[in-house]
Amino acid sequence: MSGKQKVKGKLKAYVQAPLLLGLILVLVNVGIYLVNIQAGMILSGFALVYLITMIFMVLFARPGLNSELVNFATEYGQVQKRLLKELELPHALLDGSGRIMWMNSAFEKLGEKERFYKKNIHNFMPEIKRELLPEEDEIREINLSYADRDYLARIKRIELQDVEPLMEIEDESSSGLFALYLFDQTALNLALTELDNQSVVVGFLYIDNYDEALESVEDVGRSLLGAFIDRQVSQYVNDLDGIVRKTEKGKYLVILRKSALTQAMDGKFKILEDVKSINIGNEIPVTLSIGIGLGGLTYAQNCEFARNAMDLALGRGGDQAVVKSKDSVSYFGGKSQQKETPTRVRARVKAQALEEIISSRETIFVMGHRNGDMDSFGAAVGIRAAALSLEKKCYIVLENVTPSLQPLVDLYRNRADYEEDSVISAQRAQELLDANSAVVVVDVNRPGITECPELLKNCKALVVLDHHRQGQDTIENATLSYVEPNASSACEMVAEMLQYVNNGVKFKSVVADCLYSGIVMDTQSFTSKTGVRTFEAAAFLRRNGADVTRVRKMFREDVADYMAKAEAVRNAEIYRKDYILSSCQSEGLKSPTVVAAQAANDLLNINGVRASFVLTEYQGQVYISARSIDEVNVQIIMEKLGGGGHMSSSGAQMKNTTVEAAMIVLKNTLDTMIQEGEI
């Protein structure tokens, strides 16, 4: 070690301090001589010894000191390197492209060193992508799994200009290094998962047709049927290690652990099918509705989720389970054909509530769904007749008139007493809406597909009348909600209510024609989804002047539509023996979606077909019309594709795709649902 080497910093000051003290000692010695010569001589001797010692240290001991300092620094660097290498926390350095340039022993233990070194981290941990590497001083955290362990990867950028260049980076476009640390989260995740599995979920279980099932059994067997149902429900919940308590006739409160709910969901809530097997002479199979709430911040919130889930299950026709959390809703079951409720008590109660709402408002707005059909327009005409009988101003909101709806709109407008502002646009409706207005929504319960969603946000009183099954996206905060999936059409529901509003609404034959047209369209001329109440509503309309011949003429087709429908039927494909799929051309057709729906209806006439699906392209989207008779719930199939509707009549719309691509998606959906036993 050369003697020219110098120390610096605080160590330099530490070395020079004794020399400075020696000079100060000499100056003090001079002052002592002036006071006392003997004392000065003694201090001079001490100062001489001190200076000789310091000079010796500087001339002979300093090189050894420098050598010791260098040896200490070297050993200290080796200790640092060893500590980093043997650090139990897996640590690695990545270049700008994600290649592993260095790793410590803990990282090497994750796999063979040769397997990792100079390889891209993405090859082993795909969660760490090049675009996820942090910028500047940012620290990025990524959750990943490797070798059956869960890790939290923490990555920090190290700029090359901040360190001495110790390695050559081949990719010049990659600037900087990245320090990667892996924190093992496996035990923590297991603990969190176990804690989550032990969390409590709340549910309600209702017998859909308790009274009807009991009435179908002889008196001696009624108590036995009730006991069998109680036993079946109790046994199912006990097998899930849960608690069940009967709150009232046909209603149960259920409390489960989340892990037990997962088990029930994996089994598709087999209790739905088990109770149907109970048969002690009852002509009507017993069906259940289940509503489960989970993921709430409190037990009360879980209970509220469960009530909302039960409302959804009942609104979709029952015989199904609905699991609702804060962000999602899952559906199970719903395979049974829903039964019509013979009594019209509910219709009367809802009609009286509707009358009160209309009477308390000055202006009424009625609207259906976008691209309205005869059912939505006919129901709107019926509600307007009810409002006029109560001497209220009423507007029908209709933005666009489709070619299939045009004949009915023309019929309504061409009558002698037609008022020019009876049918208005969505923009005009927003201008007229005020605090003393009510909005009635018919034939739809999804806010996003109504004629004017803005009316729903701004109105003070809202009424929903619909016959479609409810889904996750439903109109909320309705003053009156009457959703009856058992009804054949919205026009049937309105026709029933007109008999109770204002002691029976008197209306013209054109109103009866509009309502009758909606029933004919949705029931396919009384061949689908019809019940006793459907024919009673039709008879009521016939008594009020509905003309069957005039209505039938409105359903006649153009030659182009008829030929397109025939071509769709001719090109149909049998899929998995039970399903028939086809596509319908849209070029040259006024209403391709209507033609596709008609073709789907015709395909059901083929022997052995359980459900039909016809696809067509219209206005930049692919529309799917799904139909069945009573063997398949096409609604749950369409919900998988973002659509919905009725159990035997549903549809979906797919954006940014082609008919061919949509057909592949539909087939894959059918394959998955068949494999999982959903259909």
- Tell me the CATH number at 267: 3.30.70.270
Q: Which residue has the tokens 């008919």?
A: 659
The token duo for 164 is 């001495």
Contact criterion met (CB below 8 Å) for 203 and 292? yes
H helices present in 499-547, as ranges: 509-522, 532-543
Q: How far apart are CA 55 and CA 64, in angstroms?
A: 15
Q: How far apart are CA 13 and CA 555, in angstroms?
A: 105
Closest C-alpha to 23, from 61, 54, 62, 57: 54
Contact criterion met (CB below 8 Å) for 613 and 574? no
Q: How far apart are CA 264 and CA 94, in angstroms?
A: 46
Residue that finishes a domain, picked among 162, 193, 224: 193
Residue pLDDT, tens place only, 393-424: 999 999 888 888 888 988 888 877 778 888 98
Contact criterion met (CB below 8 Å) for 654 and 613? no
Q: How far apart are CA 220 and CA 217, in angstroms?
A: 8
pLDDT value, residue 166:
42
The token duo for 298 is 């409190």
- Tell me the CATH number at 659: 3.10.310.30
pLDDT value, residue 341:
58
**359 forms bridges with which residues in the sheet?**
none
DSSP letters along 636-677, please?
A: HHHHHTT-EE-SSEEEEEEES--HHHHHHHHHHHHHHHHHTT
How many other β-carbons are positioned within 10 Å of the β-carbon of residue 184? 15
Same domain, 527 and 664: no
Per-chain mean pLDDT for the chain: 82
- The answer to whether position 579 is within a domain reads yes
Domain that holds residue 173: 91-193
Same domain, 412 and 529: yes
Q: Is the pLDDT of residue 514 over 50?
A: yes
The token duo for 227 is 């006991």
- The answer to whether position 5 is within a domain reads no
Contact criterion met (CB below 8 Å) for 108 and 116? yes
3-class DSSP state for residue 347? helix
3-class DSSP state for residue 291? strand
Q: What are phi and psi of 399, to 5 degrees?
A: -80, -55
> CA torsion, points 614, 617, 622, 625, in degrees to nearest 10?
-30
Give 377 or 20, the one with higher predicted confidence. Answer: 377
pLDDT value, residue 337:
55
Left (φ > 0), alpha (ψ -120 to 50) or beta: where does 155 sit?
A: beta
Lowest mean pLDDT segment, chosen from 219-233, 235-249, 288-302? 219-233
Residue that finishes a domain, picked among 554, 589, 610: 554
H helices present in 240-369, as ranges: 258-266, 271-274, 299-315, 345-359
- Tell me the CATH number at 163: 3.30.450.20
- Antiparallel, parallel or unpaired: β 288-293 and 320-324: parallel
Residue pLDDT, tens place only, 309-326: 888 887 777 788 889 888
Same domain, 138 and 204: no
Q: Is the pLDDT of residue 435 over 90?
A: no
Q: How far apart are CA 443 and CA 369, in angstroms?
A: 7
How many other β-carbons are positioned within 10 Å of the β-carbon of residue 441? 33
Q: Which residue has the tokens 């009183």?
A: 461
Same domain, 421 and 542: yes
pLDDT value, residue 403:
80
Q: How far apart are CA 215 and CA 342, in angstroms?
A: 13
Give 523 or 212, the one with higher predicted confidence. Answer: 523
How many other β-carbons are positioned within 10 Å of the β-carbon of residue 314? 18
- The answer to whether position 340 is within a domain reads no
Same domain, 540 and 633: no
Same domain, 79 and 99: no
N-term to C-term CA, the chain: 86
Q: How far apart are CA 288 and CA 266, in angstroms?
A: 18
Give 501 or 344, the one with higher predicted confidence. Answer: 501
Determine the Cα angle at 100 with ends 97 and 102, to 5°: 135
Q: Is the pLDDT of residue 208 over 70?
A: yes
- The answer to whether position 258 is within a domain reads yes
Q: Mean per-residue pLDDT for 583-589? A: 85
187 residue type, one letter: A
pLDDT above 90: percentage of residues in the chain: 18
pLDDT value, residue 163:
45
Same domain, 47 and 71: yes
Same domain, 422 and 536: yes
Give 651 or 1, the one with higher predicted confidence. Answer: 651
Same domain, 369 and 485: yes
What's the structural domain count of the chain?
5
Q: Is the pLDDT of residue 495 over 50?
A: yes
Same domain, 433 and 565: no
Confidence of residue 614 (pLDDT cuts 50, 70, 90): very high
Q: Is the pLDDT of residue 380 over 90?
A: yes
Closest C-alpha to 615, from 625, 604, 630: 625
Residue pLDDT, tens place only, 76-107: 566 666 767 777 788 888 887 778 777 887 77
- The answer to whether position 344 is within a domain reads no
Residue pLDDT, tens place only, 573-582: 999 888 999 9
3-class DSSP state for residue 556? coil
- Tell me the CATH number at 440: 3.90.1640.10
3-class DSSP state for residue 460? coil
- The answer to whether position 218 is within a domain reads yes
Same domain, 474 and 365: yes
Closest C-alpha to 131, from 156, 169, 97, 154: 97
Same domain, 516 and 455: yes
Q: Is the pLDDT of residue 199 over 60?
A: yes
Closest C-alpha to 494, from 634, 358, 317, 310: 358
- The answer to whether position 124 is within a domain reads yes
How many other β-carbons are positioned within 10 Å of the β-carbon of residue 346? 12
Q: How far apart are CA 547 and CA 485, in angstroms?
A: 27
List for the chain the helix, strand, coil content (%; round to 5).
Answer: 45, 20, 35
- The answer to whether position 126 is within a domain reads yes
How many other β-carbons are positioned within 10 Å of the β-carbon of residue 212? 17
| Model confidence, pTM | 0.58
Confidence of residue 2 (pLDDT cuts 50, 70, 90): very low
Q: How far apart are CA 159 and CA 174, in angstroms?
A: 11
- CA distances, 229 to each of 222, 271, 286, 336, 365 (Å): 11, 10, 9, 18, 46
674 residue type, one letter: I
Residue that finishes a domain, picked among 85, 106, 129: 85
- Antiparallel, parallel or unpaired: β 480-483 and 139-146: unpaired
Q: What are phi and psi of 338, to 5 degrees?
A: -70, 150
Q: Mean per-residue pLDDT for 413-437? A: 86
